[in-house]
């Protein structure tokens, strides 16, 4: 990697991972660098990465837009966004979610879901709802099943993210019904139920999922949820009987102990009274009420359809497990035998038997003995205390695992699967890659699964790269793609693989972990991915994609044997509780052994294979959850930890794949803006941006690039060369400016000296003026003689004029003939163009081309067509007439509710492009009709389209218009006015009847209606400002400010009687716009902003605008870092208040008046003077009413 003096770089650092630095000098193979802290150090080139000095301090929303797509660039960008509470960031289509460790309910309410509904991915700020919506829209438009893969380490937020995805999918795919038992409601309520039985507190996470989960949500053809299914993987069974300090068992046990009356019925008390819970001193969780959680779990059971009797049986089993754990043993009289230890243990034995509804003596025998079937008969073998305790724990684990499987199966039955559904969205929440100080069989299985998912991820990322290269029409075939198939073969390949060797060892009773390890090292001696651990004869180390992991094999064989003790099965299958006996159905033919072996690894491998087949049949979407620090504290970003997770989550692997191709991609306009300094002599409007980009690259003799349709693609390292040359050019330009200033000063001195010399010369020449006067008098006499000669010459000139006129007449005749010939040639050329492109233009006009990024496509296509065919330069052409006729034909037959607004946008857009890119000032054109005191219609259309078409305009050079183009502009203006007139007349006709009826409506109602309309305008504009970063710019602020001025003028003309407080209703958008357009924001304090600039806005709203603001006009910065930090602290505190945590405004749909308001606002009505109409007067009731209305004479 090439570096030069003065280059801005990232330097590898042990503590901070990467720190900022600048290259000072080179010494042999070392580079001398000065860090941002002032420290100087020498390092190798391999420990340096290029840094972009012009990077956005607020970070970018999509990291594929980073100038340097490398490890420190990704890390720094995530850190900066996290500092601003922006927890979501895209890497292409991959969403990275950094756990904020604080509640942010304003990001996840129904209002926010509505904002992201149907919006293209990347148009709004990154969000989990955007990914969920993208998967839903892709499923509906492409009729293909989708999957969303959520991964990350414990505590990264996978479970919460999965729940948010399911919340959004049920929002867009749910039915409007009040029934709590709908499919979507059952899907949502399965989350707290499975959390209660499958989640526990670990050192890293208070709500850690101890199982993997894949939820398949099925949809019908209309996009409504019609069914669902849940698959689970690798429940951590050992946690039921053994927990580490500062951790907890599964939540359901603590909920049951806090259930009050139910706990008393099961003879339960505080968790500290039970062995399976008191191995840790942690019984409660901060902010969690176990009693309330117990009621929530009960409600979830009701929703998913678990009957009251089954619920009672479930909690009976949980209580039995707790009592079972308190049974202790002491040595019996016989050798290697055991008995109940004391009365306390006997009490728990009786309670366990009562809850299991089985015989207590049979339970005791099951725990303390084993029956072995031999040819001579059954032999009963006693168990010592240690073996009896192990049997007790095995029974507890088996019962809990069967109960958990029953819950999942029951949820699936209750929700139901739609066999007719052809589309579905699967959501995968599974353990991330794990590497602890002690790694056992569970970590081996988890990392095996992650290797599988990583291979799937790599293939998807590589596919996305290929698709972009194909879209841009560049060559990509040579890019190297390295997968992890070799380690997958090492783990799962038959007949020789780690899983196969482990199963083989488990089949032989005399096998130990030592014999397994020996066979492993013999079979894979010299394998690049496996090696023996340094300080152990039995441990082995695997080189995974995320790093090296050493596994301890002591418990591998035991944990892989997924056996059920026959005595345990027989005991529980004979239970008088039908629920318990159904969990353990009797076997038809009892095995001769007390153990029935099945392999956990083989079963998990089969599950994993089925999962991969499902994922391969779907279109995947990826969410990588990141835990920013090990202490679960907000606003703490630990670089080394995050970097490790990015590697484990495959994000940096995606970067590696991108680096193998063209990691730097810039649109041509962005490229020319950044590096145009290198070819200033060519930027004169003669070349388009693609040509300029190519000339920049050619000037620097770069070859590792490709030019696509809209972007320039650069190989790794090329952008650094460009930046280096750009810096040199900037320095040279600075030196030239300094020389220029010196020359200007020298010129000023010379000019002053010249002025003094001039004054002295004038004074010396005054004396000579007298002599000159004498000479002039003598000249006058000579002039008289010359006049006589001139008179003779004039006579001769008159004759010459007559001859010249005759010559001019002949020239004009020749010019006329040449002009007609040129016109004929132009017409022939035009006919050739029209013949080839007439069908293209007609289709473009008749078909609805739609819009992209707010730009009308038909207008842009027509303009590019005219530009390419050089129609603007033609003296005679009929192509403009064809366009106008086509537009007029369409609007004649079109539905004004659909076609007319569409062509109003396109004609105004086309006019804007003509006005800004074609020069008409050499022709006299009459101005468009306009109302007095207001800008013309064309001016309004151009002003409205200016911002949307900005990027489109800058792509074309300024052209000189010929007469047909000028005429076309006038005709297009007339068509636009005609369309607007149609729409206006249509609206007028629609509301004329209503306005006629409103003549007698009191102004009170008109005032209220107008006020609510302006309130709606305020909400829509303000919310759009907070959700779209491109709206939070200085230019857009100026644009909206002018629009608000028009509204203020209208309100003033309408008067307070009819407009009321309409101007006050716009206070939010007015103050937000005022903030955007003020200068020197960094000098404003928080109090000044809150009290003077934006008193109506909340701190959360001001914080959102401040962090999203960007100046596209003067390149100024937003508020200071101190103000941002103050607002962030206030926002964090306010997050606890659910009433004030949303930064979006809600629409007020209430009726804004009461009957009392009407009585006060409307004058009293006297009905006594009302005469009956003649039509009613003839009826009998009318005559009666007329008599009653007669007043007595005074």
Catalytic residues: 154-155, 159, 205, 208-209, 432, 434
Residue 6 assigned as binding residue: no
The reply, when asked if residue 1107 is annotated as ligand binding, is: no
Please name the residues in contact with 61: beta carbons below 8 A apart, sequence gap of 6 or more: 89, 90, 122, 125, 126, 1029
CA–CA separation, 863 and 909 (whole Å): 10
User: Residue 380 and residue 386: Cα distance in Å, rounded?
Assistant: 18
153 is in an annotated binding site: yes
1042 appears as a binding residue in the annotation? no
Cis peptide, bond prior to residue 495, ω within 30 of zero: yes
Distance CA 559, CA 506 (A): 10
Specify whether the CB–CB gap between 407 and 304 falls below 8 A: no
User: b or e along 281-317 (b: 16 or more beta carbons within 10 Å of the residue's beta carbon)?
Assistant: ebbeeeeeebeebbebbbebbebbbbeeeebebbbbb
In degrees rounded to 5, what are phi and psi of residue 956?
Answer: -120, 145
What is the rounded CA–CA span in Å between residue 192 and residue 634? 24
CA distance 225 to 150: 21
Token reading at 997: 């009826």
The rounded distance, in Å, linking the Cα atoms of 429 and 147 is 11
**Residue 148 CA, distance from chain mean position:** 14
Residue 719 contacts residue 55 (beta carbons within 8 Å) = no
Cβ pair 1117, 1081 in contact under 8 A: yes
**For the chain, counts of helices (H) and of strands (E):** 42, 30
How distant, in Å, are the alpha carbons of 315, 323, 555, 641 from that of 318?
5, 9, 26, 38
- 198 known member of a binding site: no
For helices 485-492 and 441-471, give the axis angle rounded to 10 degrees.
150
Q: What is the largest CA-CA distance in the chain?
A: 163
Q: What are phi and psi of 32, to 5 degrees?
A: -90, 125
Q: Are 613 and 124 in contact (CB under 8 A)?
A: no
Give the tokens for residue 1114.
């003067």
Cβ pair 303, 309 in contact under 8 A: no
Taking Cα atoms as reference points, which of 93, 97, 126, 122 lies closest to residue 112?
A: 126
CA-nearest of 181, 211, 180, 207 to 198 is 211
The secondary structure of 307-361 as a DSSP string is -HHHHHHHHHHHHHHHHHHT--EEE-SSTT-EEE-SHHHHHHHHHHHHHHTS-HH
Among all chains, which residue has been given the structure tokens 């039985």? 197
Tokens, residue 41: 């150090």
Report the C-alpha gap between 444 and 551 in whole angstroms: 7
| Helical spans, DSSP H, in 555-649 | 556-560, 566-573, 578-583, 600-616, 639-648
Q: Which of 1000, 1008, 1009, 1072 is nearest to 1036 (CA)?
A: 1072
Contact 189, 172 (CB under 8 A): no
Is 676 assigned to a binding site? Answer: no
- What is the number of other CB atoms lying within 10 angstroms of the CB of residue 1104? 26
Chain Cα centroid distance, residue 120: 10
Q: How would you class 903 by CB atoms within 10 Å of its CB: exposed for 0-12, middle for 13-18, buried for 19 or more?
A: buried
Query: Is 236 marked as binding a ligand?
Result: no
DSSP secondary structure string for all residues of 193-242: HHHHHHEE--SS-TTEE-SEEEEEEEE-TTS-EEEEEEEEE---GGGGT-
In whole angstroms, give the CA distance from residue 290 to residue 248. 13
**Is 365 assigned to a binding site?**
no
Question: Residues within the annotated binding site?
Answer: 152-159
Question: Residues within the annotated binding site for ATP?
Answer: 152-159
């Amino acid at each position: 990697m090439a570096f030069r003096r003065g280059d801005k770089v990232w330097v590898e650092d042990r503590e901070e991972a990467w720190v900022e630095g600048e290259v000072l000098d080179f010494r042999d193979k070392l580079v001398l660098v000065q860090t941002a802290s002032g420290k100087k150090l020498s390092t190798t080139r391999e420990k340096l990465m290029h840094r972009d000095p012009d990077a956005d301090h607020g970070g970018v929303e999509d990291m594929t837009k980073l100038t340097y797509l490398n490890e420190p660039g990704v890390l720094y960008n995530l850190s900066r966004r996290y500092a601003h509470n922006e927890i979501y960031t895209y890497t292409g289509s991959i969403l990275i979610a950094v756990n904020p460790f604080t509640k942010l309910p304003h990001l996840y309410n129904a209002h926010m879901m509505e904002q992201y509904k149907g919006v293209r991915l990347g148009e709004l700020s990154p969000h989990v709802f955007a990914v969920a919506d993208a998967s839903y829209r892709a499923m509906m438009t492409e009729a293909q099943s989708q999957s969303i893969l959520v991964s990350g380490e414990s505590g990264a937020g996978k479970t919460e993210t999965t729940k948010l995805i399911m919340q959004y999918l049920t929002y867009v795919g749910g039915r409007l019904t009040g029934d709590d038992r709908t499919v979507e409601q059952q899907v949502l309520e399965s989350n707290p139920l499975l959390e209660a039985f499958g989640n526990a507190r670990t050192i890293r996470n208070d709500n850690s999922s101890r199982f993997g989960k894949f939820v398949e949500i099925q949809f019908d053809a209309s996009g409504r949820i019609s069914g669902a299914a849940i698959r689970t993987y690798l429940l951590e069974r050992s946690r039921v009987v053994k927990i580490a300090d500062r951790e907890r068992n599964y939540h359901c046990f603590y909920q049951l102990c806090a259930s009050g009356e139910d706990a008393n019925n099961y003879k339960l008390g505080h968790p500290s009274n039970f062995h399976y819970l008191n191995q840790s001193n942690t019984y409660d969780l901060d902010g969690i009420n176990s009693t309330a959680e117990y009621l929530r779990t009960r409600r979830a059971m009701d929703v998913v359809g678990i009957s009251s009797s089954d619920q009672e049986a479930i909690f009976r089993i949980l209580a039995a497990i707790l009592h079972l754990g308190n049974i202790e043993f002491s040595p019996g009289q016989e050798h290697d035998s055991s008995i109940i230890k004391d009365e306390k243990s006997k009490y728990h034995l009786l309670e366990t038997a009562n809850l299991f509804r089985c015989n207590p003596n049979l339970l005791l025998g099951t725990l303390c003995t084993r029956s072995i079937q031999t040819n001579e008969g059954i032999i009963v073998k006693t168990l010592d205390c240690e073996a009896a305790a192990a049997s007790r724990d095995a029974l507890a684990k088996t019962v809990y695992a069967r109960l958990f499987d029953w819950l999942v199966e029951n949820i699936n039955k209750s929700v139901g699967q739609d066999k007719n559904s052809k589309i579905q969205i699967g959501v995968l929440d599974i353990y991330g890659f794990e590497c602890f100080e002690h790694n056992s069989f569970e970590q081996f299985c988890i990392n095996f699964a992650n290797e599988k998912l990583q291979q799937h991820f790599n293939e998807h990322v590589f596919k996305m790269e290929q698709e972009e290269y194909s879209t841009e029409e560049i060559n990509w075939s040579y890019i190297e793609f390295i997968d992890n198939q070799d380690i997958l073969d090492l783990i799962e390949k038959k007949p020789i693989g780690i899983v196969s060797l482990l199963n083989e060892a488990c089949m032989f009773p005399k096998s130990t972990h030592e014999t397994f390890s020996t066979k492993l090292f013999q079979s894979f001696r010299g394998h690049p991915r496996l090696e023996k651990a340094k300080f152990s004869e039995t441990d082995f180390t695997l080189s995974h994609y995320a790093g090296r992991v050493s596994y301890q094999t002591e418990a591998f064989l035991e944990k892989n044997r997924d056996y059920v003790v026959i005595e345990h099965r027989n005991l529980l299958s004979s239970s008088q509780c039908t629920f318990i006996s159904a969990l353990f159905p009797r076997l038809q033919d009892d095995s001769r052994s007390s153990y029935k072996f099945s392999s956990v690894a083989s079963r998990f491998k089969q599950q994993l294979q089925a999962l991969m087949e499902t994922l391969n049949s779907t279109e995947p979407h990826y969410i990588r959850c990141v835990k920013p620090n090990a202490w679960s504290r907000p606003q703490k970003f630990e670089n080394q930890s995050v970097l490790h997770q990015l590697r484990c989550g495959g994000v940096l692997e995606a970067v590696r794949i991108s680096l193998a191709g063209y990691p730097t991609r810039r649109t041509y306009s962005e490229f020319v803006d950044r590096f145009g300094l290198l070819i200033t002599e060519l930027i004169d409007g003669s070349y388009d941006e693609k040509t300029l980009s190519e000339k920049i690259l050619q000037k620097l003799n770069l070859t590792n690039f490709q030019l696509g349709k809209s972007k320039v693609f650069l190989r790794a390292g090329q952008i650094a060369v460009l930046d280096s040359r750009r810096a040199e050019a900037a320095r040279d330009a600075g030196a030239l400016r300094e020389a220029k200033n010196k020359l200007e000063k020298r010129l000023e001195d010379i000019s002053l000296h010249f002025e003094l010399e001039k004054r002295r010369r004038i004074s010396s020449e005054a004396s000579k003026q007298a002599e000159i006067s004498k000479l002039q008098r003598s000249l006058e006499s000579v002039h008289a003689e010359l006049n006589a000669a001139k008179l003779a010459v004039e006579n001769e000139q008159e004759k010459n004029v007559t001859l010249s006129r005759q010559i001019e007449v002949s020239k004009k005749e020749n010019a006329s003939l040449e002009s007609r010939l040129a016109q004929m040639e132009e017409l022939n050329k035009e006919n050739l163009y029209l013949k080839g492109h007439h069908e293209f233009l007609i289709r473009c006009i008749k078909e609805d081309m739609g819009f992209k990024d707010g730009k009308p496509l038909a207008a842009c296509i027509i303009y590019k067509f005219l530009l390419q065919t050089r129609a603007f330069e033609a003296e005679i052409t009929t192509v403009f007439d064809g366009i106008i006729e086509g537009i007029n034909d369409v609007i004649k037959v079109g539905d004004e509710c659909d076609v007319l607004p569409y062509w109003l946008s396109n004609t105004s857009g086309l006019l804007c492009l003509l006005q800004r890119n074609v020069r008409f000032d050499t022709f006299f054109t009459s101005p468009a009709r306009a109302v007095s005191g207001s800008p013309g219609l064309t001016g309004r259309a151009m002003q409205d389209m200016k911002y949307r078409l900005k990027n489109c305009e800058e792509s074309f050079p300024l052209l000189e218009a010929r007469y047909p183009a000028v005429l076309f502009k006038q005709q297009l203006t007339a068509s636009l006015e005609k369309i607007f007139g149609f729409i206006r007349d249509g609206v007028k006709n629609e509301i004329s009847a209503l306005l006629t009826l409103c003549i007698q409506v009191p102004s009170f109602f008109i005032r209220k209606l107008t006020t609510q309309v302006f309130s709606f305008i305020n909400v829509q504009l303000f919310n759009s400002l907070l959700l779209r970063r491109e709206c939070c710019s200085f230019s857009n602020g100026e644009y909206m400010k002018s629009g608000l001025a028009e509204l203020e003028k209208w309100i003033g003309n309408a008067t307070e009687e009819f407009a009321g407080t309409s101007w006050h209703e716009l206070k939010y958008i007015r103050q937000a716009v005022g903030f955007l357009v003020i200068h020197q924001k960094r000098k404003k304090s928080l109090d000044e902003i809150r009290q003077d600039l934006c008193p109506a806005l909340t701190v959360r709203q001001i914080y959102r605008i401040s962090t999203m603001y960007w100046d596209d006009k003067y390149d100024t910065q937003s508020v200071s870092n101190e103000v941002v930090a103050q607002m962030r602290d206030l926002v964090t505190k306010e997050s606890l208040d659910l009433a004030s945590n949303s930064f979006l405004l809600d629409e007020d749909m209430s009726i804004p008046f009461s009957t009392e308001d009407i009585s006060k606002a409307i004058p009293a009505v006297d009905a006594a003077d009302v005469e009956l109409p003649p039509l009613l007067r003839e009826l009998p009731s009318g005559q009666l009413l007329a008599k009653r209305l007669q007043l007595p004479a005074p």
